[in-house]
Structure 1
Amino acid sequence: MTVSSTEEQVLAESSAIIGQAPLQAVLFDVDGTLCDSDPLHYYAFREMLLEIGFNGGKPIDEDFFIRNIGGRHNDDIAAVLFPDDIPRGLKLTEDKEAMFRKLASEQLAAIDGLYKLKQWIEDRGLKRAAVTNAPRENAELMISMLGLSDFFQAVILGSECKHAKPHPEPYLKALEVLDASKEHTIIFEDSVSGIKAGVAAGMPVIGLTTRNPEDLLMQAKPAMLIKNYADPKLWAALEELDKKSARD
C-alpha cells in the first residue's frame, strides 16, 4: 500500500503520541485549552492597567499579553508588571481575577471538538486531570461551566505546588495523583509556559493554536500543533494510537 506524503507527515508528527500506547491518562491545561478564555483575560488586564496609567497610559496590546502574561502564574505576572512593587502587582492580579470570573460567567465557550474528545477518553476509560496555573476559583468556575466537573478526576493547581508552570512539578504531581506513567500519558496545552512544563515532565504535548502564534509555540517543542479538537491531524494520530494499543 502506498502512503501519501500527507499521511507520512501526520505519522511523523504524531510518532511521539503513538509511542505512548497503550494510553493511561490525558492531562489538560484549562485556560485556552478547554475554552477560549484568553480574550477575557486580555480584556480584563488591558482595562485595569489602563485605569492605573500603566505603560504611560497606553493600553497594552495582544503581543504584550501573549509574551508577558498568557499562561503565567499570577506571582510571575506581578513580577513582570511591577518588578519594584510586587504587592501592588499581586493586588492587581487578584482584582483582575474577580473581573475575569464575571466576564467568564457570561461568555465562556468550549474549544471546538472538546466534547468529542471527552467521549473518546471516557470510552477508553482513561484517567484525566486538569493542570492549571489559574486560581482555584477560576479553574472550578470554568470546569463547571463547561460541564466537566465530573469528568476530571483531579485538578492540580500551580499555586498548590512548590513551583508553577513552566516548571514540570504540576504535571508530575498530576501523574502521582492519578497513579499514571509518563510513558503512557499525553498532554494538551496552549501556551509556551504550559508546553515547556509538559515537555520538561517527560511527556509529549499537543499544542493548541487557540491564540498564541505557531512559531512561538514551536519554540517550546510540542509533539504536534492542532487548531482545535476537531482537527483531522489529531484524530489521525488518535486512530494510530488505538491501532498500536490493539497490537500491543
Structure 2
Amino acid sequence: MTINTILFDLDGTLINTNDLIIASFTHTLNHYYPGEYGRDDIVGFIGEPLYESFARMNKEGADDMVATYREHNIANHDLLVTEYEGVFQTIEILHKRGYKLGIVTTKMRNTVEMGLKLTKLDQFFDVVVTLDDVKNAKPHPEPLQQAMEKLGAKPEETMMVGDSQYDIKGGKNANVKTAAVVWTIKGKDFLAEFNPDYMLETMPDLLDIVGASVK
C-alpha cells in the first residue's frame, strides 16, 4: 500500500533549533549545576520531554528547571531558529499533491507554533500534536495514533520522519514506516542503530520515497 500520510517531528527535522536547544540547556544547567554538564550530555537529552531530562537530575526541582529553560528558549527563539535546506519546498510539494501532513512533537504548543510561523510552514499542516495534547510522549505510540486518527489515516499508509531515536521507536510502536534524517545532531550512525526504514540525506529525498517527485 502506498504512503499518503506523513508525520514529522519538528526540532532537528524540519527546523534547526539545535543552537537554541543547546543554549537553553546550557543556560539552565549552568544555573543549577555549574560546570557539571557539557555539550555531549546535552545532545543526549534532545528528543525527549524536558521534564524527563531534568527529573533524572533532580525530581523535586525539575519543574523549576523546565521553567528556566523555557524562559530562555522563548526569549531567544527567533534569533536562533532557522529552516533546514529543502524543507519548505518539499513540504509545499507534498501539500499541493494532497498528502496528509502532521507534526508530532515533544514540545509544548506555544513554541511549536512559534517555529512553524517563523518558517512559514504553518500553512501546510492540518494536524499538530504536541506534548500538551497527550498523556504519553514518543516513543509511546499515542501521539502518532492521535495524529492518524485526526487525519483519517491508516498505519500502513503512514510514515514518521524524525531526527531522534524517539521518532523511530515511536513510528515502529505505531506500526508505521519510519525515515531518519542524516542531519540529526545525534549522528547518522546513532540513528541507524534503530533501523529506520529509510535514511534521508536531504529532505527532497522524501519525494522519491513516497512517489511525489515532480516528473
Q: What TM-score does the superposition give when structure 2 sets the normalisation length?
A: 0.90
1:42 aligns to what? 22
Q: d(CA) in 1 for partners of 2:101 and 2:67?
A: 28
Residue 135 of structure 1: how far off its partner (Å): 0.9
Q: Which residue of 2 aligns with 1:177?
A: 150
Matched, 1:110 2:83: yes
Secondary structure, aligned partner of 2:159:
strand
- 2:107 maps to which residue? 134
- Partner in structure 1 of residue 43 of structure 2: 66
Any gaps of 5 or more consecutive residues in structure 2? none
Q: Against the structure 1 CA distance between its residues 234 and 152, is the aligned structure 2 distance closer, same or farther, given a 3 Å change threshold?
A: closer
| Large movers: runs of 4+ above 4 Å | none
Tell me, what secondary structure is at the counterpart of 1:180? coil
**Which residue of 2 is the match for residue 190 of structure 1?**
163
Closer, same or farther in 2 for the Cα pair 1:234/1:92, shift >3 Å?
same
* Post-superposition offset of 1:234: 3.8
Given that 1:205 and 1:223 are in contact with CA atoms closer than 8 Å, whether structure 2 keeps it comes out as: yes
State, as a whole percentage, how many aligned pairs show the same letter. 24
SS in 2 for 1:129: strand
The yes-or-no answer on 1:26 pairing with 2:19 is no
> Separation in 2 of the partners of 1:226 and 1:61?
29
Partner of 1:187, secondary structure, is: strand
User: Structure 1: where are the runs of 5+ without partners?
Assistant: 1-19, 244-248
Cross-structure match for 1:221: 195
Equivalent of 1:91 in 49, 57, 64: 64
Task: Report the Cα distance in structure 1 between the residues aligned to 2:179 and 2:80, rounded to whole angstroms.
Answer: 26
Aligned counterparts of 2:38 and 2:198: Cα–Cα separation in 1:
28
1:158-177 deviations in Å (ceiling 9; x for gaps): 34212111111100110001
Which of residues 127, 137, 158 in structure 2 aligns to 1:154? 127
CA distance in 2, matches of 1:24, 1:227: 21
For these two proteins, the number of residue pairs brought into alignment is: 212
Paired residue for 1:16? none
Cα distance between partner residues in 1 of 2:193 and 2:39: 19
Q: Which amino acid is the alignment partner of residue 125 of structure 1?
A: G
**Contact 2:165–2:194 (Cα < 8 Å) also in 1:** yes
TM-score by length of 1: 0.79
Contact 1:158 1:165 in 2 (8 A): no
